[in-house]
Chain A
Amino acid sequence: MHEKHLMICGATGCLSSGSHLVEEALIEELEKHGIKDKYRLVMGGCPGFCEVGPIIVVYPDEVFYCRLKPKDMAELVEKHLIGGEIVERLLYKGPDVDAPARFYDTIPFYAKQKFNVLRNSGIIDPESIDEYIMRGGYRAFTRALDLDPPAICEEVKQAGLRGRGGAGFSTGLKWEFTNKAPGSKKYVVCNADEGDPGAFMDRSILEGDPHAILEGMLICGRAIGANEGYIYCRAEYPLAIKRLKLAIEKAEAYGLLGENILGYGFNFKINIKEGAGAFVCGEETALLASIEGKRGMPRPRPPFPAQSGLFGKPTTINNVETLANIPLIVREGGADDFVKVGTEGSKGTKVFALAGKIRNTGLCEVPMGITIKEIIYDVGGGIKSGREFKAVQAGGPSGGCIPNELIDLPIDYDSLNQAGAIMGSGGLVVMDERTCMVDLARYFLSFTQKESCGKCTPCREGTKRMLEILNRISEGYGEPKDLETLDSLAISIKDSSLCGLGQTCPNPVLSTIRYFRKEYEEHIDEHFCRAGVCKELFNYRIDEEKCTGCTACVKACPTDAIRGEKKEPHEIIQELCTRCGSCVEKCRQECIMITPLGSEADVSN
């Protein structure tokens, strides 16, 4: 038996902050004291709080250590593991807590979260099937084996689960369609082609709790009458793929996958397909084409995959997070518990990836119906650097932005749609006053334009034309009628594109025009980008009253465009300035202002 368990976050976020080095140092310290065998070290799933990584949680004490460095390990081992005393220095500290916080219940980031989908992430060893089973894993599947397949579909329907991948279609209904479709060969497909820039919850689930996905697929297979499943996973997620492969091997060894599972005469096998890098493959018909070894291009629906999907057979396609919810619903009494959380039309929880100019970046799982304000200020800890909150982009390149005025909007499928955004996969990118909304729209459109597969004309040509207009506006050549043209192009693309990519890609443009029209007009009429992003449309100027003459900006400037004596106010030579922003990063007095071209006025406030 181990005295304590130490869970080290081994997800991509913490690895990038050096958690593998922390692990090495920890092992070294334990070996030095000859006590390595007394502790169980797990490079496990993600506790979500990437901002303060690398993270170690010590069980059973439930102590959450964060922002760790390899050199902290000596103290952690000597003081906590040997001495039994908590190392206060390494606990969570922040502007949102009065005293160093010990664990989930006292850290504000976790206070409003509810763990359904992330129930095991960071708690179990993702490479151990036994730990998954000990936490109640595969119990829902064994229950499903005793149920009639239509009864399983009915339970999922009753739970009100809606697809977590984007459109929010009823999962139970989808299963029912496939169950009723004629044919003896059917497929379950797990869409793990998480392509939305700014969303990484599916990867975190796959890396932290792979068996939950296998269990979800097995239950789905039982419900729709399929005996084969595919997981289509991005090749950019090597750790997720490795853990899935391992999970499949273990499940096969335990007789939970394969022939005649647990003696019920039910056969099921799962294959993994690695994607090859095409955003459009997140669209279900394109994804199926890709599994079949073709170019990943969508096709018109109907027929829907439930009638004619993979290799022409009835197929259910569910997203990773959707499948991770299934074991919770199908277990004894699960559906009744599930509906207790959420709103009328959106049940359960949703995992969001918080990123951008927010203090607490990371993953959070919150009940549906929580307001944007609660997510940003309570969970997210507010805006980094204390600037003003401007908007949040929900749903990635297919979604839209939600401005400050709508900050009390509850997050569920229907309210987001009404506001011109979508739930999408759940990326929330927070923006402050230094984010230019024209540039944001241009960024998303350049992404979708590149990723458009080119099959249908509205998407292929329309996005290109829209992008040209946006490029022009951000370079200072916008024309008054541009907004009208953008609007009409956007509407035709939405109405006439073949697949979800084209139908949703104008959303970022439409929603930024809807909520930030003034900013577009400023770009077009006054040639001014007040956020200081569109390089042709502003000047940096030094506020002489605030400048202390510290020369930090002079040293940072790559083009020697800043002049001034030490302790005297500096000046920027506009002819030499390339507006690279290096000086702004270095200036501690915040005295570098964003001003309109050719003007001396201070408009940075």
Chain B
Amino acid sequence: MSIAIETEEAVTEEIDLSKVDALIEPYIGKKEMIIPALQKVQDHFGYLPRSAVEQVSKRMRTPLSRLYGVATFYAQFKMKPRGRYIIRVCKGTACHIQGSPKIAERIEDILGLESGETTDDLRFTLEEVACIGACALAPVIMINDDPHGRLTPDKIKDILDSYQ
């Protein structure tokens, strides 16, 4: 029986699995290293393609159900391809009381996305993060590795425009 996890691979090109074995080689035979192995695979593909997880399952001799059990538990693991730019809206307490919901709303309006979704052109993925620890600059968003702090909704459009 197959697991009902939607992976939407139809939208991506064929998954090249040739690197998977080398990526997880150091973890073979170590059941406690499932999470680092999946992290490596995700670092490579940007998400966890179903076929790659199947490969990990075979090589690590671990049931697919267990791998998906772990992968779906942790927020870090993504089952769908993500955009070139990952927007992380900080939803920490300091950001919340300084107005992060309004920031998120503006981004959602401009991009027509809800949290967790990706634009059709794979340009942006919108995510929420519990706290990035830059509370002094609240409200903050991160776009890939760039933090943008002390935001107001009217600054959002220009920031997004600078990521093409």
Judge whether B2 is part of the interface by a CB distance below 8 angstroms: no
Q: Are B154 and A197 in contact (CB under 8 A)?
A: no
Contact digits for B113-137, partner A, Cβ 8 Å, 1 yes 0 no: 0000000000000000111111111
Q: Are A276 and B39 in contact (CB under 8 A)?
A: yes
For A447, give the chain B residue with the smallest CB separation: B130
Q: Roughly how many angstroms separate A273 CA and B134 CA in the complex, as a whole number? A: 23
Q: Roughly how many angstroms separate A290 CA and B36 CA in the complex, as a whole number? A: 11
| Cross-interface CB contact of B147 among A15, A199, A444, A581, cutoff 8 Å | A15
Q: Are A556 and B102 in contact (CB under 8 A)?
A: no
Q: Are B140 and A16 in contact (CB under 8 A)?
A: yes
Chain A nearest CB from B69 CB (Å) reads: 6
Contact digits for B125-164, partner A, Cβ 8 Å, 1 yes 0 no: 0000111111111101000000111001110000000000
Q: Are A443 and B137 in contact (CB under 8 A)?
A: no
Contact digits for A321-359, partner B, Cβ 8 Å, 1 yes 0 no: 000000000000000000000000000000001011100
Q: Roughly how many angstroms separate A16 CA and B147 CA in the complex, as a whole number? A: 5
| Cross-interface CB contact of A357 among B73, B97, B140, B153, cutoff 8 Å | B97
Q: Are B149 and A17 in contact (CB under 8 A)?
A: yes
Q: For A229, what are the chain B residues with a Cβ–Cβ distance below 8 Å?
A: none
Q: Roughly how many angstroms separate A427 CA and B152 CA in the complex, as a whole number? A: 24
A window 161-204: CB within 8 A of B: 194-200, 203
Judge whether A565 is part of the interface by a CB distance below 8 angstroms: no
Judge whether A295 is part of the interface by a CB distance below 8 angstroms: yes
B window 60-107: CB within 8 A of A: 69-70, 73-77, 91-99, 102, 105
Given A17-B149, A296-B74, A447-B91, A355 contacting B136 (CB threshold 8 A): yes
Q: Are B131 and A429 in contact (CB under 8 A)?
A: no
Q: For A396, what are the chain B residues with a Cβ–Cβ distance below 8 Å?
A: 93
Of the candidates B70, B132, B136, B137, the one having the most CB atoms from chain A within 10 angstroms of its own CB is B136
Q: Roughly how many angstroms separate A52 CA and B38 CA in the complex, as a whole number? A: 40
Q: Roughly how many angstroms separate A275 CA and B132 CA in the complex, as a whole number? A: 14
For B70, give the chain A residue with the smallest CB separation: A295
Say which size band chain B's interface belongs to: 35 or more
Q: Are A295 and B69 in contact (CB under 8 A)?
A: yes
Q: Are B131 and A197 in contact (CB under 8 A)?
A: yes
Of the candidates B38, B134, B138, the one having the most CB atoms from chain A within 10 angstroms of its own CB is B134
Q: For A296, what are the chain B residues with a Cβ–Cβ distance below 8 Å?
A: 73-74
Of the candidates B34, B130, B153, the one having the most CB atoms from chain A within 10 angstroms of its own CB is B130
| Cross-interface CB contact of A582 among B33, B95, B153, cutoff 8 Å | B153
Judge whether A435 is part of the interface by a CB distance below 8 angstroms: yes
Q: Are B136 and A362 in contact (CB under 8 A)?
A: yes
Q: Are B75 and A12 in contact (CB under 8 A)?
A: no
For B27, give the chain A residue with the smallest CB separation: A293
Judge whether A13 is part of the interface by a CB distance below 8 angstroms: yes
Given A195-B130, A203-B133, A353-B135, A293 contacting B97 (CB threshold 8 A): no
Judge whether A277 is part of the interface by a CB distance below 8 angstroms: yes
Q: Are A50 and B137 in contact (CB under 8 A)?
A: yes
Given A435-B97, A581-B102, A293 contacting B137 (CB threshold 8 A): no
| Cross-interface CB contact of B135 among A277, A278, A361, A453, cutoff 8 Å | A361
A window 253-292: CB within 8 A of B: 273-279, 290-292
Q: Are A355 and B93 in contact (CB under 8 A)?
A: yes
Q: Are A51 and B97 in contact (CB under 8 A)?
A: no
Minimum-distance CB pairs A-B, first 8: A50-B136, A200-B133, A277-B75, A276-B74, A355-B135, A197-B92, A355-B94, A361-B136
**16 contacts across the A-B interface (CB closer than 8 A):** A12-B147, A16-B134, A195-B131, A196-B131, A197-B130, A197-B131, A274-B39, A276-B35, A276-B74, A290-B35, A291-B32, A295-B73, A361-B136, A429-B94, A429-B97, A581-B102
